[in-house]
Chains A and B, each alone.
Chain A
Amino acid sequence: MKAPRGHGFRNGIVRVFAAHPSIRGPMESLRGLTSSPASAYDELVTGQKSIRYHWQGILSVIRSLPEGELAERVESARRQLRESGATVNLLDDRGAPGWSFDPLPFVVAPDEWAEIEAGLVQRAALLDRMLADLYGPQTLLADRLVPPMLVHANRHFLRPCRVADGTPPPRYLGQYAIDLVRQGDGRWHVLADHTELPSGIGYALEMRRVLARSLPEAFRSIPVRHLRPFVDRWHDALAAMAPADVAQPTIGVLTPGALSPTYFEHVYLARSLGVPLVEGGDLVTRDGQVSLKTLAGLRPVHVLLRRLDSMFGDPLELRADSQLGVTGLVESTRTGRVTLANALGSGLVQTPALMPFLGRLSEKLLGEPLTLPSLDVWWLGEPQAAAYVMANLDAMIVRPCLGTDREPIVVGMLEPAERTALVERLKAQPGHFVAQYPVVPSLSPKWSEKELSPASVVLRCFVVAAGDGWRVLPGGLAREPMGGTALASLGRLNGTFKDVWVLTEDASDIELPPSRRFHQLAVERGSADLQSRVADNLFWLGRYIERLDNDARLLRTTAARVAQGAMGPRDAAEIRLLGRLLARANLVPSSAALAMPGTAAFQQGLVDVASETRALAGLLDSIQHLTGTLRDRFSADMIGAVGPLLADVRQTLTGVRGNLDSLLGALDDIVRFVATLSGLAQENMTRGTSWLFLDLGRRIERGQFVINAALGAFGQSPVDWDAAMRIALELCDSTITYRTRYLGQLQPAPVLDLVMLDDSNPRALAFQLRSIESHLERLGHASGAYVRGLPATLDTDLQDVVRQFGGEEQAWRHEGLALVRLRDVAGDVGQRLEALSGAITRAYFSHVPAAQAVGSVGGD
């Protein structure tokens, strides 16, 4: 349906809104409700107090919702964003969550967007040309179009990336983000250019996804341009940046890793583009070629969407202390065998100090005037500009423009002494500073829990290179900046985010996804393209999850007995035994674990496991970290489930506070958390190499648990047979099976058969060994690298042991030999499992030892 238009409708909608109790006030005008200067442009209402045409659609949709419905939808949308990790991962400098979500989009009319789009394309072309010159012939310096200092003293200028005899990249800018503000005169101005790490597009895409689910009726009735076609074409454009002779280029998203505040976006982009997410450690350079380390060996990579700071890109030629880069990357770019989008060093042109010069540069380089103006910025390196700034300093905002991006300084708010110090700095190093007047962004409606209210808005737009031209995302990320002034939050993604709706004249304008040119893909199963690092992380995630489960079961078994209170001799014997197992597993300090059952010391040791410094919390940390780094490997459902569940588990664990019943509750939560995780992995992961590593980790760990805990119960001297058998069954979750099979009469042969030999029991040792054997076989087949499994004689050994307990009761109760044999074989299996873990590590994970820098000292 077309957006309705015409005066009649416009008047109608104003009336409709005026009648709505919750939004009557704000709709009159946004301006009356804000402390912002009267000069702020009103996005919603015209000077004649009528609602602007392009806002009427969304307001009408909101109006049509039943009372309270919008609030509910907002809550659901925010929950979805939390679950996808979008709002969680983006942290600002102080570690606080970076942003919140406003369901009310920022709406842009078609004709206005056309102007913005043209301006963005022109600016992208200009900055790209400038980079090509400044990393090339530098005629812009010779022709006095760019002050040399803005290059020479700019921390983003990477000298190794300018080599006379190298192959220049096809494009310097593959991706580019621009912050725009609309000033009081109604014109859009550029607030900031982001050419180094243009973040935000992933958040824009995710917000759109969530909003489309929360407000589906809006997208049915309002002609909003879609974002998906942009992403599909972006993939094709990236592929086209590969070296000309590569038919099927491999693309990757290069990320600094899970600690990056915008890691969510890196994962999101890799997924949206359908390409691997890679870290520096996943890549090696050989023969001028950058390759991905996979299980099956090295696989060439041709295009990298770079989200790693250039300076950390190559420890050989850039920052030597970088642990995140790829040794030899700069040299690889010189040979043209790999294209980085953006090229290394692309941050050079994002300094605001260049803004005063862009008008002339546009005339010279493009032969046309700059259509999208920058905000007025004065670079103090020019004497006239410096004189102007000094004369008007108290009304201005000053910021360093060449070094690390630091907070802007609002001169009017300085103490006299601070102001004097600032003036001295400005005089000593004028070229390092720019000054500008405070920005008054336009006001746009936002949803503030109960009603609409006006808020400042900064618009972040995204441009990517596409063939010879550029493509602009028909949408973007609008935000209400934190801290009042738009300048204070420059370059940071924080505040309140909202989707950007670009309207079309009519639905036929809506771009459909391109008819993709499909390459003939070979049908593949159990891909060996898995990165070695990812395989390593999956394996250890498997081990940690299983270890968490085992620890929780062991603790729960103990705590449940202690919590019963009145303790018979049988309970005491079992608890004593469990205490030894707990001490052995390092879960409870020996002093407490070996204390008499029922004493306060024992109980205290038990409840202390919930403390944040203890093993359980450490395991939860590791699991959280690994699931974080593996986000791109799991389905959205898994990611969505793990985050909140993990948070819940932590909460119940911290809530224990010395209470035994609370501890039992928390342990139940942990067991259920692991069960959920297992269920999700079981039902949602294809049985490819990823799953094999995850499960291999679990099987090895569970095998160890059977040996150390369940069979460990028989390791005490003298053996308390009844206690040991009951505990072995309980720890292997096999009590009920045993009761069903043997009607409760405990004897060692059937007990040991059930926990050791019965390969239909998923907690039995044999089940683990079978799975390990089959997994290794499949991994060897997929990757071509085989790891020797456990020897076949192990099975016979295990069977022999169990058989020895099959005789008369007198025989096994007093026959020490059978017991010795059991302990020997169990110990042997344990050692072999640990050795196997090492063999898997050597075969599949980091074949490559850690890199270190070497350098000769200077002369004498």
Chain B
Amino acid sequence: MPTPFQSQIYRSLPEIERADAIVDRITKAITLGLLKVGERLPPEAALSEMFGVGGATLREALAELREQGVVETRRGRSGGTFVVTQPRTQTDTIRDWFLATSISEIRDIGDEHAAVAAAIIRLACERAEAHDVARLQELARALVLATSPEGRAVADSRFHIELAVSAQSPRLANAEMRLQEETVQQLWTPLAVTFDPEPATAEHLELVRAVAQDQPVKAGNLVLDHIRRNIFHLIDTKLTLGYARSNQDTP
């Protein structure tokens, strides 16, 4: 007999949650530029197989995306479901994220990121070569050159992902991509306190230098400080948005 916990953990997923998860996944992919406007999604049968859902659930998800105006389904020989627009401004979605995510969860994201980043930087020191270093320098500079919050988010995440690429581990690179996807928009979208790209760029360049000089201890400390600073910024934003100081409390 399953324990109450087990039956809670392994309860079947309601179809509606699965459709929402698909909407969420595709919306996020478009926001991140992983799916471009004009791009055609794979055929419905392939989609439902890949997502592991029934045709009905998939169609429900596509209907929701159509309703949001994000995709459009065209009939005919060159038909299919196409991405037609960027999802509505992300600021509201990100504000919701901050309101719905607790400080302990934000700290925990930082804990995981620190673990992944520490492993990546150690391997990058061992494995990166001249070409990787030159490329990382260029990607680091792209952050300070970016002119919009979205551009900064792209530049920041691309730097960290390609740092992981230089570590030669596809799994760590995937973990880094997932972590970037989870937090990079939150970091750069100006909601409460604007995040300054200059110190972040300086930290990225310092990281590249440590990698180039194969100084794993220094690089490890730098990357942990870098992530800690990012997490403090997220927590600051959370506090400002979620727990505004009430003036009436002052005696």
The yes or no verdict on A and B being binding partners is: no
Give residues in B with beta carbon < 8 Å to A: none
Give residues in A with beta carbon < 8 Å to B: none
